[in-house]
Structure 1
């Protein structure tokens, strides 16, 4: 069974959702027969390439004060900490993520995609230093176990793996995905947002037990009993309620 996960490094709910999904997957009896592939989804394809502090960006996007943006970021940090994830609230940057996605496709070819994704998430949400910029991305690629020369060549060529990124985004659009994280099991069952681990457990069990060609069913979509879960979309990331 294949699980495809559409994400963006700028999305805190993708960071949290990955941890919740992996918790469910670790306890799944057929874990060894599940292939996980991470797909590209840019929250802001036209975003600036230079990294900018996230708090002013949140304030502008949501029309709130800097203090309110700081409080919202702190609540997301609480959710991350609840999953055992490090998170430096308010001390991260945001920028165009296209190069990150290109590198993730390169890493997939070399069997290091999950490792690179973990390194990128940690750098973006848990470290003081920005995760953006070609030099920094090269360092992170090497840290994930990739060859520095080959990774540098990918970063130097703006068309390297660019089509693969665009194909992922087109597929997500065709499936009706408007935000991330978005999990698709065998192209038949969809799970939207950073759902609780129990929801991912049910989705894995349902997909495994019904492995016949059927239309895509969304778990966690509007009107579904599972309810909506936090996600990030082109207009921003949902903020946890008090």
Structure 2
């Protein structure tokens, strides 16, 4: 079973969604048969490489929301994250364009460490106050998972990797994805947002049953399908 996930490193709900999906996946009987593929999405591609201000400043400016409402919103998001074992620190968060981080993720995917690198990027951004637009920070994250520093630096400027990132953006548009996280299961079932863990388990179960309608039950090797059971 293939699960494609569109996500942005600069998306607070994407980290929460990752945790909830992982919890739901752990409860899925066939979890060892699931392949997860991370795809790039940018909530704000117009963001400059670095923004001179806090996350609250950015949201007030870009969203046109009153500061007190933004503070209330970030507090609520932080509480949701805390419930998933994540410790968001919006005061330390460095607002930066996430495109270089997506380049790193595509390099990581080539080496089979995309999930681990994704985890570290999200933690760096939301918990540790690390600048995800800083090439040296990205080199350090890549190195922690066996990626060569020169390869990471090259990947940040690589036109082929940029094209693969753009392909992810195009695929999101084709699916009609306008917000993240967004989960597509076996190319047929779409699930939007940081849903509860139980919802992910349920959808995975439904998708599996749709693709595997027959199963063997009991010692009598009874085969059960849509029309009933037969020996």
TM category (shorter chain) comes to 0.7 to 0.9
Question: Which residue in 2 is equivalent to 1:101?
Answer: 102
Offset, 1:121: 0.4
Question: Which residue in 1 is equivalent to 2:113?
Answer: 112
Question: Which residue in 1 is equivalent to 2:148?
Answer: 147
> Is the Cα contact below 8 Å between 1:112 and 1:146 reproduced in 2?
no
| 1:171 maps to 2:176 | no
Partner deviation per Cα, 1:59-81 (whole Å, 9 max, x = no partner): 12332333332221111000000
Distance 1:14 1:122 in 2: 11
Question: Which residue in 2 is equivalent to 1:37?
Answer: 37
Distance 1:20 1:139 in 2: 27
Offset, 1:160: 4.1
Offset, 1:102: 1.3
The aligned runs of 1:76-225 (5 Å cut-off) are 76-155=77-156, 157-211=157-211
| Structure 1: gaps of 5 or more residues | 213-242
TM-score of the two chains, using structure 2 as the length reference: 0.86
> Is the Cα contact below 8 Å between 1:102 and 1:161 reproduced in 2?
yes
> Is the Cα contact below 8 Å between 1:14 and 1:180 reproduced in 2?
yes
Offset, 1:144: 3.1
Question: Which residue in 2 is equivalent to 1:27?
Answer: 27
Offset, 1:51: 4.0
| Structure 2: gaps of 5 or more residues | 213-231
Distance 1:147 1:61 in 2: 36
Distance 1:69 1:118 in 2: 25
Root-mean-square deviation (CA), in Å? Answer: 1.5
Question: Which residue in 2 is equivalent to 1:46?
Answer: 46
Partner deviation per Cα, 1:78-124 (whole Å, 9 max, x = no partner): 00001111211332122221111111111001011001000100000
Q: How many residues are paired up?
A: 211
Q: Which moved more, 1:74-83 or 1:139-148?
A: 139-148
Distance 2:118 2:162 in 1: 17
For residue 85 of structure 1, give the secondary structure of its aligned residue in structure 2: coil
Partner deviation per Cα, 1:107-166 (whole Å, 9 max, x = no partner): 0010110010001000000013323211211112112332222112212x2414011111
Q: Spell out structure 1 runs of 4+ moving beyond 6 A.
A: none
Distance 2:73 2:133 in 1: 23
For residue 159 of structure 2, give the secondary structure of its aligned residue in structure 1: coil
Question: Which residue in 1 is equivalent to 2:11?
Answer: 11
